[in-house]
């Protein structure tokens, strides 16, 4: 259905402008007159033609906008709103400078919704994959309180911290992954290229070989002859694991593993506590209703068990109980945190308390990540050294034994 840009004068003398969808220009004008408006100007919105180059660029950007795109949009919008630019003009200006084709389309859709008279938060809510419930609710609260630019600054600060935290956690997980990949690659190289060279030396002397050499020779022969089966099993195992984790049962199991693995559990607990309390603090300070705050906090927590915890708090508060009541029975939050939440709830300064506690756990998370990284390095080096040493021992031992027999 085509769109028409209009300027009209209402029955009260006020001028209005926007975009209207209609079958044709006459239908658009009739719709405006039915609203009691006098049509001053009506023109069709030209449909944008997509060139082959633009289509190719869009295919290359199939993932759509990322977290940093949303952060940049929020920061720029806050600056432009403070400069006195209308929200429609600000969105249009940001959209024109955006390189991501999909995000550009989203921004133009938001601009059209705003032009048609919808609230900015209502326009954002149509794109939940890019603007989650926390973002939408904070914007909605600012629309009611009149602190739009200040709220955008708070949202941008929140997004920046979440991106930084996510980058730190991913960085801590990448390091052991690289070391483990290197260890596996070296082991495969030794089994498939080095050990087969010794097979001719040890041929016919199997009775004199120690069990480590027999084991590795058998494993090497299997790897050389059935390498394709090993590759299929590894790829199939990875695919099966990914599909399993995407199920409810698999997701719950993986979330439990992250909270129980000795080296990583402290890091993930600090991450989930910091994220939950930071989210809750931002929403409370923004003036979002408590029930909505608790529901959003659970959705953004990032772990099945923490999501269930905040859902139980939601049910408790809905029945008129205190926030701290269900938290006291859960092992997921330290007692000191529950006590501070209870004190903030009693004093009416819950938002300030949540900000302080989340900041403390954000610092603790950085320290835990450094500790985990420092612990993983010697552990992985020891494992890698043990594997290589075992292979070297399996090669050297039979050589010494054969030389002794020759003497």
**371: CATH:** 1.20.81.30
What are the phi and psi torsion angles at 49 (to 5°)? -85, 135
Residue 144 belongs to some domain of the structure: no
Q: Say whether both 403 and 270 belong to one domain.
A: yes
Domain span including residue 34: 3-44
Residue 87 belongs to some domain of the structure: yes
Residue 119 belongs to some domain of the structure: yes
Identify the pLDDT of residue 79.
86
Q: Say whether both 221 and 112 belong to one domain.
A: no
Identify the pLDDT of residue 223.
81
Residue 388 belongs to some domain of the structure: yes
Instruction: For residues 154 and 78, give the distance between their C-alpha atoms in angstroms, rounded to a whole number.
Output: 10
Q: Say whether both 126 and 252 belong to one domain.
A: no
Q: Say whether both 241 and 302 belong to one domain.
A: yes
Identify the pLDDT of residue 267.
85
Residue 109 belongs to some domain of the structure: yes
Handedness of CA 242, 248, 250, 253 (dihedral sign): positive
Q: Say whether both 242 and 369 belong to one domain.
A: yes
**How far does Cα 255 stand from its chain's mean position?**
15
Q: Say whether both 364 and 291 belong to one domain.
A: yes
Residue 166 belongs to some domain of the structure: no
**How far does Cα 191 stand from its chain's mean position?**
39
Q: Say whether both 116 and 232 belong to one domain.
A: no
Identify the pLDDT of residue 4.
67
Q: Say whether both 231 and 372 belong to one domain.
A: yes
Residue 56 belongs to some domain of the structure: no
Q: Which of 108, 131, 154 is at the close of a domain? A: 131
Q: What is the mean pLDDT of each run of 10 residues along the chain (407 residues)?
A: 68 67 72 74 56 49 74 88 84 85 89 86 87 86 78 87 83 77 80 75 67 79 83 90 89 90 84 87 84 87 89 88 84 87 85 86 84 79 80 75 58
Q: Which of 84, 100, 131 is at the close of a domain? A: 131
Q: Say whether both 257 and 353 belong to one domain.
A: yes
CB 8 within 8 A of CB 16: yes
Identify the pLDDT of residue 177.
77
Q: Say whether both 267 and 391 belong to one domain.
A: yes
Please tell me the total count of domains within the chain. 3
Residue 396 belongs to some domain of the structure: yes
Identify the pLDDT of residue 239.
93
**How far does Cα 202 stand from its chain's mean position?**
53
Identify the pLDDT of residue 202.
67
Q: Say whether both 242 and 379 belong to one domain.
A: yes
Q: Say whether both 258 and 371 belong to one domain.
A: yes
Q: Which of 93, 114, 131 is at the close of a domain? A: 131
């Amino acid at each position: 259905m085509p769109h028409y840009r209009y300027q009209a004068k209402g029955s009260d003398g006020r001028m209005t402008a926007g975009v209207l969808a209609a079958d044709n220009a006459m239908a658009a004008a009739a719709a405006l007159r039915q609203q009691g408006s006098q049509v001053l100007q009506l023109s069709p919105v030209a449909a944008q033609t997509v060139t082959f180059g633009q289509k190719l660029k869009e295919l290359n950007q199939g993932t759509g906008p990322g977290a940093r795109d949303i952060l940049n949009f929020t920061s720029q919008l806050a600056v432009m709103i403070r400069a006195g630019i209308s929200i429609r003009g600000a969105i249009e200006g940001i959209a024109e400078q955006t390189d991501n084709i999909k995000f550009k389309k989203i921004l133009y859709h938001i601009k059209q919704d705003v032009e048609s008279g919808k609230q900015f938060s209502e326009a954002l809510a149509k794109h939940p994959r890019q603007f989650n419930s926390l973002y939408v609710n904070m914007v909605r609260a600012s629309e009611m309180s009149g602190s739009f630019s200040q709220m955008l600054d708070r949202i941008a600060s929140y997004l920046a911290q979440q991106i930084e935290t996510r980058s730190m956690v991913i960085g801590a997980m990448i390091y052991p992954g690289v070391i483990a990949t290197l260890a596996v690659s070296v082991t495969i190289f030794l089994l498939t290229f080095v050990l087969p060279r010794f097979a001719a030396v040890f041929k016919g002397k199997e009775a004199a070989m120690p069990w480590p050499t027999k084991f590795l020779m058998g494993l090497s022969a299997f790897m050389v002859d059935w390498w394709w089966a090993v590759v299929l099993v590894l790829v199939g195992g990875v695919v099966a694991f990914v599909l399993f984790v995407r199920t409810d049962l698999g997701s719950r199991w993986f979330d439990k593993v992250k909270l129980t693995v000795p080296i990583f559990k402290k890091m993930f607990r600090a991450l989930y506590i910091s994220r939950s309390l930071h989210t809750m603090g931002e929403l409370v300070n923004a003036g979002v209703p408590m029930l909505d705050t608790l529901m959003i906090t659970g959705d953004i927590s990032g772990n099945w068990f923490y999501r269930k915890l905040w859902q139980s708090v939601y049910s408790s508060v809905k029945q008129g109980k205190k926030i701290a009541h269900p938290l006291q029975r859960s092992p997921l939050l330290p007692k000191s945190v529950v006590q501070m939440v209870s004190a903030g709830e009693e004093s009416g300064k819950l938002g300030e308390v949540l900000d302080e506690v989340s900041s403390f756990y954000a610092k603790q998370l950085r320290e835990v990540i450094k500790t985990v990284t420092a612990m993983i390095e010697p552990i992985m080096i020891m494992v890698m050294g043990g594997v290589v040493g075992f292979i070297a021992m399996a090669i050297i031992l039979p050589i010494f034994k054969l030389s002794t027999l020759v003497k």
